[in-house]
Amino acid sequence: MAFSESQIPPDAQHYLVCGIEDCEKNCQFYCNDCHQPMCEQCRDEHQKNKKTKNHEVVPYKQRKRPLPVEKCKIHPTRNIELLCEECQIPICSKCTATKEHRSHAFTDLEYVFDEKVSLKCHEEIAKIRNYFDPISQDLKKEIAGDVTEIKKIMEDIRTSMKAEAESVKKIVDTITSEKIEQVNKIEQSLLETLNGQNQKIDDYINYLNDLIKTFYGYLSPSNIEQLTLALKSESLIIPPIPETSKPVPPIFTAGQHSKEDVAKLLGRITVPNTKPENRKIKPMETASTQLKPTGKQRKQDREKSDVKQTLSLSSSVTKVREYTVPGVDDVLHISLGKSGRLWVSDVYGNLIQTDLQGNQLQKIQTSGYDGCHTVTQDGDLIYTDQDNKVIYRITPDNTITEFIKTGDWEPLSIHSSHINGDILVGMMKDGEPSKVTRYNKTGTEIQNIQRDNGGQGLYSYPHHITENINGDVCVSDHYIGVVVVDKSGRHRFSYTGQGSGLDPHGICTDVLGHILVCNGISATVHLLDQDGHFLSILLTEQQGVKCPYSVCVDDENNLWVGQHNTNRVKVYKYLQ
């Protein structure tokens, strides 16, 4: 069943079917004269037919859009299909014979419509890609930088406040100690005085006791003489009680202070009464000038554009070479480096670098396997350590450094963008939906992609990840399928396979925007277009691949395939 373009939802999964009657092959081409989608075989027959051999048949993506059907107001049975060049109004074919348009020149309105719509759309797309999106991304990075800076400033303020409080606390403790020492001394002095008075009274009481004994002695008849002498000497007079005084204790007067007084001691926080400065947004003219590519970039863009215009899917897939990778049991992930260097990882975490003659150049033991490594624009290898939750970098001189710590998140898959050098990492954490985190070249986190517009988690086990030519992030999720979001993180579509379903493994994209993914259920490689439409099963066991598990495309547009059951890598040509 074929779908009209207006019927296709943005997240649809379906075949682009040839429009020729009774043909249900995949659509790859389009006749601009018939407005008919075609497969390769029907295109060949269409161009052999005498009636249609001069028709313009182009790749499907380069098709002209059909003119919207609109009836002529003067001749309601006719469709508007021409443009009067002199009057600059759309008319029908019957209008050309009227006196108003006699001898005027006419242009096919479909051609004008396609040219204007195509030009306008491409202009707007160019504006978005060259101005609006880059400026917006720069603003996001600037905001992220401001967030980091604000957090640092506020933490510094908190630290200063705590230090100020500690300082005041120390002063209070010191003064309190001094005053308590003063109280101790006053107490000691008062107690010494009272102890002296107490001793004085004790001495007096002892004297009185002795005096009582003396008086009892005088009462004896044998002591008459002593009593007579005592009366003469006035020794019987009792001395007065010694004088003592009550102590005068000190008085403590509480300090006269308030919460506000203490707050003043601890400094204050002020928010400047300054109007926030608007972030600078470059005018489109300035940005267009600054974004203008260099001569070298223009040459590369022209070369890529020329390649895109000349390349198309081949009618058959051809094996062009094969390599054996020593030191691994299978090939679960492939990264192509510079100078023909190949990086391969297996299920045991062996990460091997070889040249194209199969000579082992380097071996690293890691705790990752699936999509655990990637080669950057600078030729560095970046790989994940899932157990320690760290991402390492290996420079061309074989220096290994710790690049990114992922905290509580286990890094499963990683990809270095060929567009801007950003690092995309698929991660998982117990109790949380898995996510894709974007870091810039220096390892600064700039984006997290975790949920769709409805708040549902996008990923479960994102074990392979790549990026398409339009910036889409394409994830091979073991439990969900192929999940694709745009560069801002909005969900575009998901692909769950054909027929028996999909057990997705390795994933990559090519210069035409195709998405290639390994299917473990049928041991095949599926080919999708940039919008998630299934195009074909590209590789099967007939091409010599039994358990395809990893894929990547090189600069010569060849497809490299690693397998689960062998350490051999096979290379195929599928574009012509």
Q: Provide the residue type at 375 as one letter.
A: V
Calculate the average pLDDT of the chain.
Answer: 85
What CATH number is attached to the domain comprising 399?
Answer: 2.120.10.30
Nearest to 425 by CA among 413, 409, 410: 413
The verdict on residue 272 lying in a domain is no
pLDDT tens digits along 17-55: 888 888 878 888 889 888 889 998 999 999 999 999 889
CB 567 within 8 A of CB 348: no
SS (H, E, C) 171-188: HHHHHHHHHHHHHHHHHH
Give the chain's domain count: 3
Range of the domain at 48: 5-62
Residue 121 lies in a domain: yes
Q: How far apart are CA 494 and CA 476, in angstroms?
A: 10
pLDDT tens-digit series, residues 248-284: 998 888 887 788 888 887 777 877 888 888 888 877 7
Residue 492 lies in a domain: yes
53 and 165 in a single domain? The answer is no
Mean pLDDT, residues 245-249 taken together: 91
> Does 171 map to a domain?
yes
Better-predicted residue by pLDDT, 486 or 397 = 486
Residue 56 belongs to a domain with what CATH number?
A: 3.30.160
Classify residue 74: in a domain, yes or no: no
- In the structure, what pLDDT confidence band is assigned to residue 222 with cuts at 50, 70 and 90? low
Q: What is the pTM of this model?
A: 0.52
At residue 300, the pLDDT reads 52
DSSP 457: B
pLDDT score recorded for residue 5: 43
Domain assignment of residue 165, yes or no = yes
Query: Are both 122 and 48 inside the same structural domain?
Result: no
Confidence of residue 289 (pLDDT cuts 50, 70, 90): very low
Give the DSSP letter of residue 80.
-
In this structure, are 55 and 135 located in the same domain?
no
Which pair of structure tokens corresponds to residue 319?
Answer: 């094996």
Contact 419/403 with Cβ under 8 angstroms? Answer: no
Same-domain check for residues 562 and 480: yes
Torsion over CA: 322, 326, 329, 330 (sign): negative
Q: Are residues 500 and 412 in the same domain?
A: yes
**Residues 420, 491 share a domain:** yes
Tell me what pLDDT residue 335 has. 93
User: Residue 287: pLDDT above 80?
Assistant: no
* Last residue of one domain, picked from the residues 40, 62, 84: 62
Q: Out of 183-187, 231-235, 245-249, pick the least confident.
A: 231-235
φ, ψ of residue 57 in degrees (nearest 5): -110, 125
Question: What band does 558 get if pLDDT is binned at 50, 70 and 90?
Answer: very high
* Amino acid (1-letter code) at residue 223: N
Residue 104's pLDDT is 93
Per-residue pLDDT at 221 exceeds 90: no
Confidence of residue 187 (pLDDT cuts 50, 70, 90): very high
Establish if 126 belongs to a structural domain: yes
pLDDT surpassing 50 at residue 3: no
DSSP-derived secondary structure for 213-245:
HHHHHHTSGGGHHHHHHHHHHTTTPPPPPPP--
Token look-up 């006791």 returns: 209
Residues 420 and 516 in one domain: yes
How many Å separate Cα 186 from the centre of its chain? 69
Same domain, 368 and 467: yes
Whether residues 123 and 40 fall in one domain? no
Q: Tell me: do 558 and 414 sit in the same domain.
A: yes
* pLDDT tens-place string over residues 301-339: 555 555 555 678 888 899 999 989 998 989 999 999 877
Residues in a beta bridge with 352: 344, 363
In this structure, are 431 and 320 located in the same domain?
yes
Given 20, 37, 62, the domain boundary residue is 62
pLDDT at 13 over 60: no
Residue-level pLDDT at 203: 93
284 in a domain, yes or no?
no
pLDDT surpasses 80 at 477: yes
Q: 358 or 528: which carries more pLDDT confidence?
A: 528
122 and 181 together in one domain: yes
